[in-house]
Amino acid sequence: MVPSLAYVIAGSEATGGAGFQVDLKTFQQLGVYGVGTLTCVVSFDPENGWAHRFVPIAPEVIADQIEAATSAHDLDVVKIGMLGTPATIDVVATALAAQPWRHVVVDPVLICKGQEPGAALDTDTALREKILPFATVVTPNNFEAATLAGLPGPLTTTDDLIAAAQAIRAQGPRHVVVKGGMDLPGPDAVDVLVDDDGVTVFSDPKIGDARVSGAGCTFAAAITAELAKGAAVPAAVRVAKDVVNAGIAARVSAHTPFTTVWQGAYSVN
């Protein structure tokens, strides 16, 4: 059987626990042929508390990768992960404008775990102004949702999540999925989807009590893969939550301060 194709434009996270590596693993696990363009390389520094070392890919090299990927394949579903600089955002915005897309899933990576909040305000602003307008689906976490909605965070109730999603939806994206995550108190991991059909709440018991690296990347990549296969957005979100649940239950320990999601724990029925 010919596989569906999904495209990802994102950064490498060198431990394998987040970013591009997770995107391609998730695509593969869901039976989708992955095509990727690298925007930057993040290498955590084990000698310095696993702090971020960040190197952007030159804009012309990003443009070359996009040219190769989009010339080789008829791509119509793309996930946008970490971009990292205003120059990268310009190249990616140009690529998004260059052809029609059935779905653009934007995971608005404002900061990674361990990074200083507000370290990259110009990048956040460029993401909001130049990438968000192309998004058909946007998947902010609790912090990103509060930031994009202009609300004080953290969001601590399901109603807060819904209010943030509605405020973000008013900025353009048709489908907004806000992830409550560990910052939402209580026993459940709650995500809300707000779109034309109203509000859909997805709630499953939390697994463990610590953040797991790569959960957000896995979630957005799984939505992207399911959309590539033709699923509707609510069904894609449901599968993505199942993939993350299974991957967190089977999380992988490393010498890093956090565990990471194991995408291989989920199996397509």
How many residues are there in the chain? 269
Q: DSSP character for 45?
A: B
Binding to ligand PXL in span 57-76, by CB under 6 A: none
Give the shortest CB-82-to-ligand PXL separation in angstroms.
4
Q: Which helix (H) or strand (E) holds 95?
A: helix 86-97
Cross-strand bridge partners of residue 37: 9
- Total site size for ligand PXL, rule CB under 6 A: 14
Site string for ligand PXL, 117-146 (x = CB under 6 A): ------------------------------
Q: Which residues contact 204 (CB under 8 A, 6 or more apart)?
A: 188, 189, 241, 245
Q: Which stretch binds ligand PXL (CB under 6 A): 13-21, 28-36, 175-183, 195-203?
A: 13-21
Site string for ligand PXL, 31-50 (x = CB under 6 A): -----------x--------
SS3 content of the chain, % helix, strand, coil (to 5): 40, 20, 35
Place of tokens 């443009």: 63
Nearest to 191 by CA among 204, 182, 178: 178
Binding residue for ligand PXL, selected from 13, 124, 160, 191, defined by CB under 6 A: 13
Nearest to 38 by CA among 66, 1, 4: 66
Residue 195 amino acid letter: D
Q: Which stretch binds ligand PXL (CB under 6 A): 12-20, 57-65, 122-130, 197-205?
A: 12-20
Give the shortest CB-58-to-ligand PXL separation in angstroms.
17
Q: In what side-by-side order are the strands of the sheet with 137-138? A: 54-56, 33-42, 5-13, 77-80, 103-106, 137-138, 175-179, 188-195, 198-205
Please, which residue, 18 or 162, has the CB nearer to ligand PXL?
Answer: 18
Please, which residue, 9 or 161, has the CB nearer to ligand PXL?
Answer: 9
As a whole number of Å, the CA-based R_g of the chain is 17
Give the shortest CB-213-to-ligand PXL separation in angstroms.
7
Binding to ligand PXL in span 204-243, by CB under 6 A: 216-217
Site string for ligand PXL, 74-113 (x = CB under 6 A): -------xx--------------------------x--xx
Please, which residue, 21 or 29, has the CB nearer to ligand PXL?
Answer: 21
Cross-strand bridge partners of residue 41: 12, 55
Please, which residue, 81 or 173, has the CB nearer to ligand PXL?
Answer: 81
Nearest to 139 by CA among 90, 83, 180, 101: 180
Does 18 bind ligand PXL (CB under 6 A)? Our answer is yes
Q: List contacts with ligand PXL (CB under 6 A).
A: 10-13, 18-19, 42, 81-82, 109, 112-113, 216-217
